[in-house]
Structure 1
Amino acid sequence: MAIAPHPAVDAAALTALDNQLSKRFIQLDPAGYFLIYLDREAGLICAKHFTNIINDKGLACDPVTGKPLPTRGKSARPETQVYSGRTAKELCIKIFENPDGDCPISYLDHAAYLGREFTRAEIALVNGSDYVQD
């Protein structure tokens, strides 16, 4: 049995709010960034972690070359780690609660963002819908 949304919930307004919030300025995490994708055949949410440095303009740069990283297209850089999980919770536990204590995230807002994205990816995996990282 499907549960109907509360009449006071306006899905279009919530989507518009999220789209507006996605345009805000964020400080990049000096510990690196993640590219999130689905491995549908294996039924997994995957996250590749890459290191970076942040230059004086706030841009993420390749730690080897010092050049700004492209925001579109594929990166030829090798990832430092690939994480995967069947659910958003499993993936978060692997990243944030790993036994060696080496967490690749240094900003709380980055951690919150990843939790939101992993949840979106899990929903897309379960529903068979497309997932595009925000």
Structure 2
Amino acid sequence: MTAVTESQSLSTPTTQDLDALDNQLSKRYIELDPGGYFLIYLDRDQGLICAKHFTNVINDKGLACDPETGKPLPTRGKVERSHTQVYSARTAKELCIKLFENADPPCPVTFLDHAAYLGREFVRAEIALISGQAYVQD
């Protein structure tokens, strides 16, 4: 008789299971990065993953606000603001290196969880770019 390891006794999760877990985790509270936020999109004509950086300030309620007006930034709808920088690259890895290792000016990301989030999103964007699927930032 052979011993069954813990990993062997667990069933392999389905795609639906993993999607449900991912959706649940996306609803958790996160503290916003005072270094700003990014809007990630694809430039399919150039074959690039792009990330526009925008500044913000965080108010006493934890809301991201426009640094010029102090008013909370809307979470839905179009917002007319100027970005501070556009980062672009052919792969998620190349984009992470440009942003986190070679940024000029220095990288605006100040929270590790924000850096991890961006890495995950850049990988999702790369997969969408390669596969031709739509990309919507989480």
User: How high is the TM-score relative to the length of structure 1?
Assistant: 0.92
What residue ranges of structure 1 are gaps of 5+ in the alignment?
Answer: 1-6
For residues 74-85 of structure 1, what are the structure 2 equivalents within 5 Å? 74-85=78-89
Tell me the CA shift for residue 9 of structure 1. Answer: 3.3
Moved over 4 A (4+): none
Name the amino acid aligned to 2:83: E
Q: Deviations over 1:79-116 (max 9, x none)?
A: 00000000000000000001657111000000000000
CA displacement at 1:8 relative to structure 2 = 1.6
> Counterpart of 1:122 in structure 2: which amino acid?
E
After TM superposition, list the pairs within 5 Å mapping 1:52-63 onto structure 2.
52-63=56-67
The CA deviation string for residues 45-97 of structure 1, in whole angstroms up to 9 with x for no partner, is 00000000000000000000000001112221100000000000000000000
TM-score, normalization by structure 2: 0.90
Paired with 1:117 and 1:100, the residues of 2 have a C-alpha distance of: 21
- CA RMSD after TM alignment: 1.2
CA–CA distance in 2 between the matches of 1:84 and 1:101? 15
